[in-house]
Amino acid sequence: MTAAHSDALVLFGVTGDLAHKLIFPALYALAKRDALKVPVIGVAAPDWPMAQLHARVTDSITRAGGIDDKQAFQNLLSLLIYVSGDYNNSETFNKLKEALGKSRRPAHYLAIPPSLFETVIKGLGAAGLAEDARVIVEKPFGRDLSSAKDLNRIATSVFPEHAIFRIDHFLGKEAIMNILYFRFANTFLEPIWNRNYVASVQITLAENFGVENRGAFYETAGCLRDVIQNHLFQVVALLAMEPPSGRHYEAVHVEKAKVFQAMRPLAPDDLVRGQYAGYRQEANVAQDSDVETYCALRLFIDSWRWNGVPWYLRSGKCLAETGHEILVELKPPPQPLFADSAPTTGRANYLRFRISPKSAVALAARVKRKGKEFIGDQQELFLIEEEPGEESPYERLLSDAMAGDGALFSHENAIEAAWEVVEPVLKVHHPVHTYQRGSWGPKEADVLIAADGTWHNPMPEKSTS
């Protein structure tokens, strides 16, 4: 049965940074494709006239790349409605109901701080604005297992689970979606995609900049909560999941949740936490802060397919490059028939997914050099590269949520299972290690992975390892 499309988009926090940086450009992209035809009702506290909101939207889209379709831009402005009010005041929700007019299936987007989620969700329920509606919730989905359960309890007390869309923009990236497709659309991969042939898996998300103006937020979150527990765990699930029973999104969510449930809870020795030199001098950061701006961990999935295979995840700020790559390293041949193909000469064959800055899928294999000698080199075969005109993550996710397509969103049971994996090390862990800006993190992370080789460092352009 096809879900009914939302007939209005309500954007709580319309005057905030998230709307300005990401949501307005996504709405403009939808308008350019003639895919936005419903009212967009912004809700926020400031008492702004419409002209001020229009100026905010104009500035947002200009900064994001410019206004290159004046008709689409005017259509977007014509769809905007603004409701000013306090989220704690029931009158604000009465004004919202009036602004919705004949709309009966709104999608409520909570682009607001997590501390306000409960207030707004309960306000929507009390005003009768949750029936036949959807709610889109921005991460973080809690900051530990207990708060995640509380958030899910509050959300499901007003909205049914199928109407709750927990948005993680990483899942909307074309390169992330291609992992799922590549895995299950190709026959050659399945026979080797298991503990018998895979030696290890690495996932790196590196940024060459610091916390910038987000010091206060980072002090409450840290790298483990901000990036690894959600973004990188979702990538692990796509790589490790069993084939779903069908194409419908519920089948995918079932298999992803099984991966989280099979993950072995982390212990302090599975984790290396780092902090770049100078972090404590950032604005709104404690002088004795032990918050990690870098995190590397060793993870095991206790399932039939992956038993014994180590998964190495790392992410950090102020690293040498900005990039996101996955390296699935295969085991070497059981007998080194050719001397130059022995494991001591470098990496064995591998499959590499580059998520950013430019997405690609590459397969590395050894090829013989010309001549009589049986000597070769490992070369990469590029299978796919980024194509122009791809949808932005927020454009795709907004469109899917309003259409009722939950394939790229997180479910309650998966979120809680992921928190259970990291719960043991949220408070009990080793101190942070200082690392220099422009490096690849603390040297202790090299020790963590030493038993299985070395880290693969993402490179800005196509390269071999």
**Alpha carbons 412 and 417: distance in angstroms, whole number:** 9
Give the CA distances from residue 180 to residues 269, 360, 410, in Å, rounded to whole numbers and listed in that order.
31, 14, 15
Angle in degrees, CA 256, 412, 430, rounded to 5: 80
Name the one residue in this structure whose structure tokens are 């993950």: 263
231 is catalytic: yes
The 8 Å CB, 24+ separation contacts for 56-59 are 56/15, 56/20, 56/24, 57/24, 59/20
Q: Give me the catalytic one of 20, 108, 169, 231.
A: 231
For residue 216, the surrounding DSSP H or E stretch is helix 215-220
Among 42, 36, 38, residue whose Cα is nearest residue 19: 42
Distance CA 448, CA 9 (A): 47
Q: Give the bridge partners for 165, in sequence order.
A: 136
The total number of residues written for the chain in this structure: 465
DSSP string, 363-383: EEEEEEPSSSS--EEEEEEEE
Q: What's the alpha-carbon Rg for the chain, to the nearest Å?
A: 24
Q: Show Cβ contacts of residue 314 under 8 Å, excluding neighbours closer than 6 positions.
A: 202, 203, 204, 205, 206, 294, 295, 296, 297, 441, 445, 455
Give the residue numbers marked as catalytic: 231
